[in-house]
Homo-oligomer: A and B are copies of this chain.
Amino acid sequence: MRIIIDAMGGDNAPGEIVKGAVEAAKNTELDIVLVGNKGKIEQCLKNCNAPSKIVDIVHTDTVITMEDEPMSILRAKKDCSMAVGLRMLKEGGDAFISAGNTGALHAGSSLIIRPVKGVMRSGIATILPFTRPVLLMDCGANVTVTADYLEQWAIMGTLYMKNVLGISEPEVGLLNNGTEECKGTQIQIDAYRKLKELDNIHFIGNVESREIPDGPCDVLVTDGFTGNITLKLAEGMAKFMFGQLKTMYTKNAMTKMSFLVMKDQLKALKKSFDASEYGGAPLLGLQKPVIKAHGSSDAKAITNAVYKAEAFIRTGVITEMEALMQKYDRRPVRKQTENNENKE
C-alpha cells in the first residue's frame, strides 16, 4: 500500500512531516513516499535518525504556499509537491496526505483525482473533537451548495464514520437555525425532506449549533461557508477559554498553586480539543483517499493521518460509495447539469 505525503505543506514542514512519516513507516508495512525538496527531506531524515530507505523521496523544488490561488496548482505551480503527489496518487498511489493550502488541495484533487461517478461535489469533512466526535461536512470547499450535495454528503459522511471510525449506525444531522422542519433557507428545507426520505442513513433532523459541543450526532452536513464558520468559531472559542483560564491561573501565588491540582485535568481537556488524534480531514467523494492534515500538524498528527489513510483504504469506503452513488448518476436532470458544468 503506497501512501504519498506532501513533505512541504503546513507550518511545520518539512521537519515534522518527515518525522511523522518515519514514525508511521516504522510501525507499518506501508510504502511511504515523501514529495518535496530532496536535500531538505534528507536532512530531516538525518535529524530524526531515520533508518536508511525507510521512505522513498520524489524530488520537486516548487511549493504551493497558503497565499497562492487554489487554481495555481494546475497552472503556475503545477510542479509543486502537492500537484506532483496528487498525480502520483492518480497513477498508482493508494492515498495522499498534505498539510498545505486547503483550497489548492481540494481544487487539485477534484481535477486530478476526480470525484466518484455520480458524486456532484467532493468536500472537506472535519472531525470536531468533542466527547462524541462530530464529522462536519463541508468545511469550506463548496461555499454554495444545493440540497442534493447535502444529501450526498450525508451518505459519504455515514460511510466514513462507519468504516473508518467504527461507529455502527452513525446519526446524521442537518445544521440549521432551528429544529423545526421549516427552518433555514430553501436549501435546508429541501435537504431536510431529502434526508428524511433516504433509507441508507440514520437522519435525526435539524441540529442547532449550540448543541454541537454536546455531540448531537456523528455526521453534521452543511454548506462549506457555514461549515467553515462553525469549525473556526469552535476552535476560536476553545482557544479563547483556555487563554482566559491561563490569565486567571497565573494571577498570583495562590492561583498558581491551585493550578497544580487541576493541571492534569486541564491538560486532558485541552488535549481533547486536539484534532490530530483523528488523523486529519478526509476529502470525501473522490476516487482515491486524499487527507488534509491541519496546517499546524506536528509529527504525531502526520503519523495518525497515515494510520487513518490506511483504514480509509482497507475498509473500502470508496468502493461502497461508488455503489451507493450509482443511483445519482442515473438521474437524467442532474447528469445534464453536471455535463453543462464540465463544458464551462
Given contacts A229-B230, A232-B209, A255-B265, whether A184 and B237 have CB atoms under 8 Å apart is no
Stretch at the interface among A21-29, A239-247, A284-292: A239-247
Most buried by B among A211, A224, A233, A249: A233
Q: Give A281 to B107 CA distance when docked, in angstroms.
A: 41
Number of copies: 2
Within 8 A of B (CB), among A194-216: 208-214
Q: Is the CB of A236 within 8 A of B212?
A: yes
How many residues of A are counted as interface, with CB atoms below 8 angstroms from the partner's CB atoms?
A: 47
Q: Is the CB of A255 within 8 A of B261?
A: yes
Within 8 A of B (CB), among A220-268: 224-226, 228-230, 232-241, 244, 248-249, 251, 254-255, 257-259, 261-262, 265-266
Query: What B residues does A214 contact at CB under 8 A?
Result: 236, 240
Determine the main DSSP class of A at the interface with B.
Answer: helix
Whether A82 is near chain B, meaning CB under 8 Å from some CB there, is no
Q: Which of B143, B210, B239 contacts A235 (CB 8 A)?
A: B210
Whether A177 is near chain B, meaning CB under 8 Å from some CB there, is yes
Whether A140 is near chain B, meaning CB under 8 Å from some CB there, is yes
Query: What B residues does A233 contact at CB under 8 A?
Result: 209-210, 212, 230, 233-234, 237
Closest to A255 in B: B261
Q: Which of B238, B251, B258 contacts A241 (CB 8 A)?
A: B238
Query: What B residues does A217 contact at CB under 8 A?
Result: none
Query: A243 to nearest B CB, angstroms?
Result: 8
Q: Give A259 to B175 CA distance when docked, in angstroms.
A: 36
Report which A residues bind B (CB closer than 8 A).
Answer: 130, 140, 143-144, 175, 177-178, 184-186, 208-214, 224-226, 228-230, 232-241, 244, 248-249, 251, 254-255, 257-259, 261-262, 265-266, 269
What 9 A-B pairs come out closest when comparing CB atoms? A210-B236, A213-B240, A237-B237, A209-B233, A210-B232, A177-B228, A258-B258, A258-B261, A248-B265
